[in-house]
Copies of this chain bind each other. A is one copy, B any other.
Amino acid sequence: MRIAELSRQSGVPVPTIKYYLRENLLPPGERTSPNQASYGDQHLRRLRLIRALVDLGKVPIAQVKDVIAGLDSEDLPLHDQIGRAHRAITRTPPASPAPSSAATARVQALLESRGWTVEPDAPALTTLADTVAAFEALGQDHLIPLLDAYAEAVEKFTALEIQAVTTRRTPDQIAESVVIGTILGETLITSLRLLAQESLSATEWKKA
């Protein structure tokens, strides 16, 4: 199909598609004349992926580019694919002081009690310790014991996520599924939490 048709089917404006082509987010179409190219289903699918990551996953375009580059480099081990998806959604640590040693110790104790093994430089480790430290600094110590309940719940569905993704047939499909599942899964969980909070808090507090 021509670029106008690709735009119509994907709902992405032509100038945006051209931008993605320039930035190598989208592979080039097949040249049919010096001024024209033809695009296929792979382009449509890729466009949908980019828009889902940007619109629903709120991933900045520079990080989408990195995630897509990962999907396009076939020889990247799956574990590194996952690493790229993770970095795309990890909140960058604030410039503020390092988390208290109490917060870091709390996080380490949690990892040990659950038997989780992660690289010591995993960005999520810093974010987690920073957040625990923020709870303390903001006088919200009563929220810290929730950590264990969160970790237990998270571990349960993470095992199912990994199981679901391994049902895919090719390494390509698995990689794509990991990226989408990691990033859009976060949107899913956040939405469900907000709905559960609204429902439970309506019962508890609407009267207040």
Q: Which A residues are closer than 8 A to B by beta carbons?
A: 11, 45, 48-49, 51-52, 55-56, 58, 77-79, 82-83, 86, 89-91, 93-97, 111, 114-119, 122, 124-125, 127-128, 130-132, 134-135, 137-140, 142-143, 145-147, 149-151, 153-162, 164-168, 171, 176-177, 180-182, 184-202, 204-206, 208
Contacts and interface: CB of A to CB of B under 8 A. Distances in A.
A179 to B, nearest CB: 10
- The interface residues of chain A, by DSSP majority, are classed as helix
A189 B150 contact: yes
Given A89-B190, A187-B91, A195 B122 contact: yes
Given A114-B196, A118-B198, 10 more contacts: A55-B95, A78-B208, A89-B194, A122-B194, A124-B195, A128-B195, A146-B161, A150-B189, A155-B196, A185-B193
A118 B199 contact: yes
A162 B204 contact: yes
23 contacts: A45-B139, A52-B134, A52-B137, A55-B94, A55-B95, A77-B206, A77-B208, A83-B198, A90-B194, A116-B196, A117-B202, A119-B198, A127-B190, A140-B177, A140-B181, A142-B164, A142-B168, A143-B177, A145-B164, A146-B188, A150-B185, A153-B156, A162-B204
Report how many copies the assembly holds.
2
Q: Which of A79, A166, A205 has the most CB of B within 10 A?
A: A205
Which A-B residue pairs are the 9 nearest by beta carbons? A55-B94, A153-B153, A116-B199, A124-B194, A128-B191, A158-B196, A124-B191, A52-B134, A154-B192
A195 B138 contact: no
Given A45-B138, A194-B124, A199 B162 contact: no
A117 B195 CA distance: 8
A201 B134 contact: no
